[in-house]
A and B are shown apart, each in its own frame.
Chain A
Amino acid sequence: MIKLSPKLSQKLSYLILFLATILAVIPVALIVFIIVKNGVSALTWEFLTSMPKDGMRGGGILPAILGTLSIVMSAIFLTLPIGVCAAIYLNEYAKDNLLTRIIKLAIVNLAGVPSVVYGLLGLGIFVMFLKLGVSIIAGALTLSIMELPVVITTARGALNSVPYSFREASLSLGVSRWQTIRYIVLPNALPGILTGAILSIARISGETAPILFTAAAFYIPYLPHSIFDQVMTLPYHLYIISTQIPNMPKNVIFATALVLLMIVLTMSVLAIIARIYFRKYRKW
């Protein structure tokens, strides 16, 4: 083997690392490009605001958009308060004992459980055992259980990043523990918690597996009336029209993917911008 001079080998390695990085970034750009290019022609106001027609081959995707919105909003409404409270408990009150450590370990590991397993649980517990049926509420509960560990983890991170001296200063003035949390810790942790919440919304908007057997309907010709109705959802609709329906016009599939992608990416970009913005104005 030829021995390269250190300088040359450094240059070569840097080049290889750079190429690897490009290789990892290209697919993202490619996916977005392909979807926008092929989907934008079918993306009209009518497509967004009308019901599907001709066995979903024509018409719009309004029920799917509304279905996703209703499930995601219910899920975040359920999971955010409990998750933040649990995070406050773990970060501010819990003593560092065996129980706390087990809880923390459980939360870390639960965040890694596959989403389809949560789907199974949702089916077994909410749909069958609690007899909620395949419905918005069953899907929302499933998604909220799935997202709970993530919400707790990000909220804990945000609380943890508030310097300890802030709390000490407040406590030394005789302020009670809860008041310290309420007026000192929470306001400073709020940006982090909110960013995490936005990312959670983005993540569960695109989830398909957990709602596959808990909420999603193949095709429903009307809009949902209550939280006990089945709904069409965007990700499931995309799955159905891209795999189960023969002779589906390609541009309609792409347009559906584009709508889903826009919802998710807008939210993610919003979170990234918020993070950069808040970092600039942080008080420490």
Chain B
Amino acid sequence: MKKIINTIIETIIFICGILSIVFVVLIFGFLFKEGFAFFKDYNVIKFIMGQFWYPDSNPALFGILPIVIGSILVTFGACLIVVPIGIMDALYISEIAPKGIRDVLKSSVELMAAIPSVVIGFVGMVTLVPFVKNLFDIPTGLTAFSGSITLAFMAMPTIVTISEDAIRSVPWQYKEGALALGATKWQTIRRIVLKTARPGIIAAVMLGIGRVVGETMAVMMITGNSAHIPNSIFEPVRTMTATIAAEMGETVRGDMHYKALFAIGLVLFVITFIVNFIADLFLGKNKNK
């Protein structure tokens, strides 16, 4: 009797294991199917290189260049802010901070990840956006710049926690060796710890980028949602994620516009998959050491 129960349970576990994979394959098969359906009716080159996103004009134009540039601009700006601060943060928390405040700092950074993006978007709208508008004296504060600042802080927890893991996994012998040679603690951190932890830190940055590219609600509320190619970072932009979220409600299920949004979803999926894959490679490298 026990044996039968045993076998039944193990079979269930096995099925669940397989089931989760089947789900995944099915789901992404579906995304590919819907995305590629669009390319049957619309030229891929025109989709990727097209400079105009006018889904409602006649004939409708589905060029994603403006929104891809929007995404890149916001992501790049966010990285400029978050990468240096995040790495310094991780160094301070793991190497320098006194034990007492270490957990407090770490938990506060982690709490940022828990705040829903729609809440961050709302607070950004009522505080950061008017601030940016007044500071630079521009017609609207809903700009790529405001989006970058917001996203920088949303990616902070990812970058800090993963870099911190990498820094902490540097063997203590390396540090003691440097210290024994008369290096100061800071010299050891800069020349030895940072260098050894580099693959892990790169992985952290990649994962942070993945988070920024995929962020939807806060970006939609803060960047102004204007699907044209911007001249500077102080203009409204629209990202790929925001385009999907903002326009899906207006489409007729199954029409070209609907399929075009699935095609954008496919592009997003491919981008984040590549970014995560690279991060995974670097994380593996870190572990092998």
Q: Which residues of A contact B (CB under 8 A)?
A: 6-7, 9-10, 13-14, 16-18, 20-21, 23-25, 27-29, 31, 34-35, 81-83, 85-86, 88-90, 93-94, 103, 105-117, 119-121, 123-125, 128-129, 145, 148, 152, 176-179, 199, 202-203, 205-209, 212-213, 235-236, 238-239, 242-243, 250, 253, 257, 260-261, 264-265, 267-269, 272
Shortest Cβ distance from A103 into B: residue: B21
Chain A positions within 8 Å of B96 at CB level = 14, 17-18
B276-A114 in contact (CB<8A): no
Chain A positions within 8 Å of B10 at CB level = 93, 177-178
Chain A positions within 8 Å of B30 at CB level = 121, 124-125, 129
Shortest Cβ distance from A213 into B: residue: B248
Q: Is B165 an interface residue (CB 8 A)?
A: no
Known A-B contacts A10-B184, A272-B107; the reply to A257 vs B123 at CB < 8 A is yes
B114-A265 in contact (CB<8A): yes
Shortest Cβ distance from B211 into A: residue: A112
The answer, among A17, A108, A238, A268, for a CB contact under 8 Å with B118, is: A238
Chain B nearest Cβ from A232, distance in angstroms: 14
Known A-B contacts A6-B186, A20-B92, A24-B160; the reply to A114 vs B215 at CB < 8 A is yes
Chain A nearest Cβ from B178, distance in angstroms: 12
Chain A nearest Cβ from B154, distance in angstroms: 9
Chain B nearest Cβ from A19, distance in angstroms: 9
Known: A24-B112, A267-B114; 8 extra A-B contacts, CB below 8 A, are A10-B185, A85-B16, A90-B17, A107-B24, A109-B276, A120-B248, A236-B118, A265-B114
Shortest Cβ distance from B221 into A: residue: A243
A21-B276 in contact (CB<8A): no
Known A-B contacts A21-B88, A268-B111; the reply to A209 vs B241 at CB < 8 A is yes
A112-B119 in contact (CB<8A): no
A212-B6 in contact (CB<8A): no
Chain B nearest Cβ from A155, distance in angstroms: 11
The answer, among B84, B184, B210, for a CB contact under 8 Å with A6, is: B184
Chain A nearest Cβ from B259, distance in angstroms: 10
Chain B positions within 8 Å of A81 at CB level = 16
A238-B119 in contact (CB<8A): yes
A264-B115 in contact (CB<8A): yes
Residue pairs across A and B with CB atoms within 8 Å: the count is 241
A119-B34 in contact (CB<8A): no
A112-B19 in contact (CB<8A): no
Chain A positions within 8 Å of B114 at CB level = 199, 202-203, 206, 264-265, 267-268
B119-A176 in contact (CB<8A): no
A-B contact pairs, 5 of them (CB 8 A): A6-B184, A17-B89, A35-B119, A120-B262, A257-B123
Chain A nearest Cβ from B65, distance in angstroms: 20
Q: How distant is the Cα of A111 from the Cα of B279 in the complex, in angstroms?
A: 13
B120-A31 in contact (CB<8A): yes
The answer, among B122, B210, B249, for a CB contact under 8 Å with A257, is: B122
Chain A positions within 8 Å of B31 at CB level = 117, 120-121, 124
Name B179-234 residues within 8 Å CB distance of A: 184-187, 190, 207, 210-211, 213-217, 221
Chain A positions within 8 Å of B9 at CB level = 178
The answer, among B17, B105, B211, B262, for a CB contact under 8 Å with A124, is: B262
Please provide the 5 A-B residue pairs with the shortest distance between their CB atoms, ordered closest to farther: A206-B116, A114-B214, A89-B17, A85-B16, A10-B186
Chain B positions within 8 Å of A260 at CB level = 116, 118-119
Digitize B50-81: 1 where CB-to-A-CB distance is under 8 Å, 0 elsewhere.
00000000000000000000000000000000
Chain A nearest Cβ from B267, distance in angstroms: 10
The answer, among B13, B187, B244, for a CB contact under 8 Å with A89, is: B13
A29-B108 in contact (CB<8A): yes
Q: How distant is the Cα of A102 from the Cα of B253 in the complex, in angstroms?
A: 34
Q: Is B148 an interface residue (CB 8 A)?
A: no
Known A-B contacts A17-B91, A178-B10; the reply to A265 vs B111 at CB < 8 A is yes
